Amino acid sequence: MKNLTLKKKKRNFAKQNLQIVWEELHPLFLDLLNRPIHSLSELEKWMQNRSELEAIIEEDAAWRYIRMTCNTADEKLLRDFQYFATEIEPKIAPINNQLNKKLIDSPYAKELDSNKYFIYLRSVQKSLDLFREENIPLQTKIQLEQQKYQSITGSMSVFLNEKEYTLEQAAVFLKDIDRYIRETTWTAITTRRLEDKTKLNELFNQLIILRHQVANNADFNNFRDYMFEAMGRFDYSPEDCYQFHDAIEKTVVPILSLEAKRRKEKLGLESLKPWDMDVDPSGHAPLKPFIDGEDLIQKTQLCFQKLDNYIGERIEIMKANNLFDLESRKGKAPGGYNYPLSESGAPFIFMNSANTFRDLTTMVHEGGHALHTFISADLELNDFKHLPSEVAELASMSMELISMSHWNIFFDNEEDLKRAKRDQLVDVLKTLPWVATVDQFQHWIYTHPNHTDLEREQEWKKIFIRFGHSFANWDEHSDALKNLWQKQLHIFEVPFYYIEYGMAQLGAIAIWKNYIENPEKGLNNYLNALKLGYTKTIPEIYQTAGITFKFNKEYVKELVDFVKMELDKLN
């Protein structure tokens, strides 16, 4: 019998029963701050002690966030989260800045192995450059304001046929072959979202003001430029993002335009409406890859096991340690995530499953993140595991495609399996214009911080249409279209975390192409890249995976043509 219980890691600096209250944390930070360092080995030990403390605190913060999102209606869980945001983080921030100075100013820092510590030291220096004492209370306020998005959206539900559904559960009916059911469902969901349109606009306007102030305090003209620095985007610029937008418009949108035309013809419609975009155009009932959350875990584990025993066993470990909350319910925050538990070296997967095909792809996506958490867990410093999104999303989006080779675990009918793969590849292509839309929208928002609600709606509509999302006829639903951006959690909670999905999607296609050509080599390269955590530059990590980090028009076209070729095989 395998022992799948997570072992408690032995601590070398903090006591095992440390309570995350300032009275117990402060002496540990003072020790780090005041400890004399007389040699390279003493500096490295100091770095390891600091890393241990950071991992303990990060894991405590993770559980506060996880528990709150699992039940947004529980006031105590909200207060626990807010306590950390208001009483712990603001006290840590200035001391962390002092610790960063101590590290960089140490005469022994120059003796550190540059190959091993280059990425880490670069990030520390960037944190020092950006730190401003006056931003600490602003960042606390931003964190508390951001949480309101989950409270607002987590309480949304609709009644269909006298039964209450969360919006995620109701969205299942948008795949129904009965057009009346689809229209009724879409109208109910959209009407419910628009009820909170003003509330979400007011929240977002407040966030823009706070974020712009943070940027100004750090001597930036706008929050966009500040975030490029804060997110450590050392390997590309805003101009590169615009190049990506253009490449997607020219290479992907025309293919999706043809797909929309085929959809309209197959459905026998004169024009596509917003509720016609998710139904199977061949008239088949929605795919049912699993029965419930338990079945999804079991099938994912078997699918991953067929890829590699190690990968499958990670899902087993998570299940044995109750590290899943998968099914949608009222009061649960929207969306899905994989949250690394920094000290344990394992993750928690949160989802809002309604037992659809899209939930399968979400699960294998988050499973890719989970694998990344496990496989990089033993890296020496906690900061080595602070992944840039371009690398984190490469792990997850590649797993969506690689795992397709064993989706027969979910579909025992060959025709359903082909449908699933085809839907996935179309979704891959649809992801790219949506990423470009959300990213360009955010560039505009934060370089025009004084815009009005009306100007924001107009700009969203213009960008939305540019990237082909007007394949459906929205003429009678202008209000819904102009406020569609409000459903994108990232815009509220993690600004500018979105272009990475596009870059990683291109990387994932390249990894999948390598995997198809040579499964063993392709998988090994992928795993070797994940093992690096963030100890190499983004281009170097992509190179280890056997691919290139670039997104010009020629490269995008090469990868998109490959997806199109694979799609044609499934037609």
Instruction: Report the half-sphere exposure of 494 (CA within 13 A, side-chain side).
Output: 11
pLDDT for position 1: 63
Residue 388 pLDDT exceeds 90 = yes
Instruction: Give residue-wise pLDDT tens across range 109-134.
Output: 999 999 999 999 999 999 999 999 99
Q: Mean pLDDT, to the nearest integer, of 195-200?
A: 96
Contacts with 562 (C-beta within 8 Å, 6 or more apart), sequence order: 509, 513
User: What is the per-residue pLDDT for 148?
Assistant: 93
Q: Left if phi > 0, otherwise alpha if psi is -120 to 50, otherwise beta: which for 499?
A: alpha
Q: Is 183 exposed, middle or buried (0-12, 13-18, 19+ CB in 10 A)?
A: middle
Distance CA 399, CA 320 (A): 22
Confidence band for 208, pLDDT divided at 50, 70 and 90: very high
Q: Quick one: pLDDT at residue 551?
A: 87
For 180: left if phi > 0, alpha if psi spans -120 to 50, otherwise beta; the answer is: alpha
pTM score of the predicted model:
0.91
Residue pLDDT, tens place only, 498-513:
999 999 999 999 999 9
The answer on pLDDT for 25 being more than 70 is yes
Which pair of structure tokens corresponds to residue 43?
């500096």
pLDDT at 7 over 90: no
In 10 A of CB 248, how many CB atoms? 29
31-58 tens-digit pLDDT: 999 999 999 999 999 999 999 999 999 9
Query: pLDDT by residue (tens digit) across 162-181?
Result: 999 999 899 999 999 999 99
pLDDT grade for 3, boundaries at 50, 70 and 90: confident
Confidence of residue 330 (pLDDT cuts 50, 70, 90): confident
89: number of CA atoms within 13 Å, CB side? Answer: 21
3 state SS of 295: helix
- Residue 256 corresponds to which tokens in the numbers above? 């999706």
pLDDT tens figures, 415-441: 999 999 999 999 999 999 999 999 999
Two tokens at 6? 């997570």
Q: What are phi and psi of 53, to 5 degrees?
A: -65, -40
Nearest of 232, 156, 291, 248 to residue 506 by alpha carbon: 248
Confidence of residue 518 (pLDDT cuts 50, 70, 90): very high
Per-residue pLDDT tens for 211-267?
A: 999 999 999 999 999 999 999 899 999 999 999 999 999 999 999 999 999 999 999
What distance lies between CA 492 and its chain's CA centroid?
13
Spatial separation of the C-alpha atoms in residues 391 and 501, rounded to whole Å: 10
Type of residue numbered 271: S
DSSP secondary structure code for residue 88 in this structure: I
**Is the model's pLDDT at 8 over the cut of 80?**
no
What is the number of other CB atoms lying within 10 angstroms of the CB of residue 451?
17
Contacts by 160-165 with C-beta closer than 8 Å and gap 24+? 160/184, 160/185, 160/188, 164/330
Q: Give the whole-angstrom CA distance, residue 415 versus residue 411.
A: 9
Q: Residue 505: how many CB atoms within 10 A of its CB?
A: 24
